[in-house]
Amino acid sequence: MILLLAVVQVQHQVRLLETKYSDKLMQQKNLQEEWGRLSLERNHLTAPARVEHLATQKLGMHLISNSDNQAQVIFIKPVMSDMSGEPMVAGTQEIVIPTVEQETVPK
């Protein structure tokens, strides 16, 4: 009789573990799908063409060709927020970006 109860108990534990395992597999699948969607969204949001478009349209930035390979100075104007009306950038900032010569890498 005790042996029969032990078998039933083990079968019940096995069913519970199978259910948990199945739930975890489903959760893993959902997380992988979400990661794929987020990866695509990140790639879209950080695409160079999109960043350049936003920089020129929303921030008023423009590309300056620098033939002397010197540092470029970028002035950022305050941009008003759509929701609060508060400036997103406090004051005008000066950012100096040094130009780095590209090295050729042997193939």
For 1-14, write each residue's pLDDT tens digit: 888 899 999 999 99
Q: For Cα atoms 35, 36, 41, give the angle at the middle one, nearest 5 degrees.
A: 95
15 is a domain residue: yes
pLDDT score for 85: 56
Q: Which amino acid, residue 98?
A: P
57 is a domain residue: no
12 is a domain residue: yes
For residue 32, give the H/E element and its range.
helix 2-45
Token pair, residue 64, equals 């300056």
pLDDT score for 104: 47
Q: Which regions of the chain are under pLDDT 70? A: 65-107
- The total number of structural domains in the chain stands at 2
7 is a domain residue: yes
Owning domain of residue 17? 1-46
What is the C-alpha separation between 26 and 35, in angstroms, rounded? 14
> 94: helix, coil or strand?
strand
Q: Clarify whether residues 37 and 6 are in a common domain.
A: yes
pTM reported for the whole predicted model: 0.50
Q: Clarify whether residues 3 and 34 are in a common domain.
A: yes
Q: Clarify whether residues 38 and 13 are in a common domain.
A: yes
